[in-house]
Structure formats: structure tokens, C-alpha cells
Structure 1
Amino acid sequence: MNDLNLPCPEVQVITKGGEPAFAVVPYDQYLVLLGAKHSHVPQRVLDLQYSNNLSRIGAWRKYRGISQRELAQRLNMVQSTITRLERPNVKPRPKTLEQVALALGCTVEQLAP
């Protein structure tokens, strides 16, 4: 997490009079915040998934350019759990998928294989 404890490090906070006034977030994260059912998966994520024999979680992590360690810290998990979640045939619990989606700035639907 960043200084403001935001789940998405790509957030830009715009201040007015020294106080936070606006937050600019990646579009995928915006959809997550809205609760929108957004299922488009970027081609690069799919390429990473299949070329590296990863789960969709692992592909999104690589797409976002974060390490397993960083993702584990965001989720308050150990790195070995992230390693397991990135195996192609692992079926995480729904609550885990929700937490991972938020940490990766995507939707649960985008994490589905």
C-alpha cells in the first residue's frame, strides 16, 4: 500500500488548498469501485497467462508490474500463498478472489480463467 493506504498504487491524489480533493484511478480500478461487471481482459494479460503457465492472478500481477512479495504485503499474506494462487489450476475461495481483485485493480470476473 502507498502513503494514503490506498489499495491501488497508481492512484493520483490532486489537492486543493493543501487538502485531498480528487483521486485519479486506473479505469479498471474505477470499475471495481463502482461494482461494475467488467469482464474485458487485456490481451497482454492473456499472453502472460499462457506463455508463463500462470493462473489469471499471476498474469494480472505481472501485467501490473508488481512482485509476489508486494502482492502478498497488499493482501497481508505470505509470499508462498501468492505462489500457490498463481498455479494454473488453483481455485481460490470467493473472498480471496475479491481481495486479490481489489489489490490488482481488476474485477473478480477478470480473474476467472
Structure 2
Amino acid sequence: MRYAHGGGLTPREQEKRERVRLQAAERFARGEKSEAVARYLRVTARSVRRWRRAWEQGGADALRSAGPASLERLSRVQWEQLEREWRSWQTSPRSTRTRYAYSRCHPTPAS
């Protein structure tokens, strides 16, 4: 999973999860029990039961990925600009004062 730039799964990870769900559909068609499918695919039985309900209602197509939950709001160029500004802010003298003030209000536990 990735969370740094907006959360969720990458397109590659979404494809991988879809393949797992479609493998589950093949096993449902063979009549395998949910627990056996979960064990074989190394996923939770709860997920397999949810997939089975969807498969029973709509077949394998019901297990296909619906795509990303949302589109990224910033373009790659905007992310790069934001990261450059963040790095420059971290190295500025103001940043040192801000970190010092924050640490005074929010002390970290002693190790």
C-alpha cells in the first residue's frame, strides 16, 4: 500500500488484487469453501466471503476493479514543486525556530 501521495493502491497493486479476486472466482465456480480459498490465496476469510457474495450476485465481473477511488488532485509537477518547497523550508532558519518551539510544547518521551 502507499499513503505518501494520496493513499490507496497503485495501479499495479490494484491489478494484482483484481487477479487475486478473479482466482477466487475460479475457485468459487469449482465449489471450494470460502475458508479453503482464503487459505490458498493468503487473504482473510472475511474478504473471501465478501467476494463470494459479490460473485453470486454478478459473477466474475462483479470482482473486477472499479478503478481508483479518487483521482490525485495534484499533478506530478505540482508534487515535485511541493517537495522542493518543503525541503527548502526544512533547511531555513525559520524552520529551526519552529521545530524548537514545537519541541518545547510537544516534548518527545525519553528513550
TM normalised by structure 1 equals: 0.25
Q: Which has the higher contact order (CA 8 A, sep 6+)?
A: 1
User: Larger strand proportion, structure 1 or 2?
Assistant: 1
Relative to its length, the structure with more helix (as a share) is: 2
Higher radius of gyration, 1 or 2 = 2
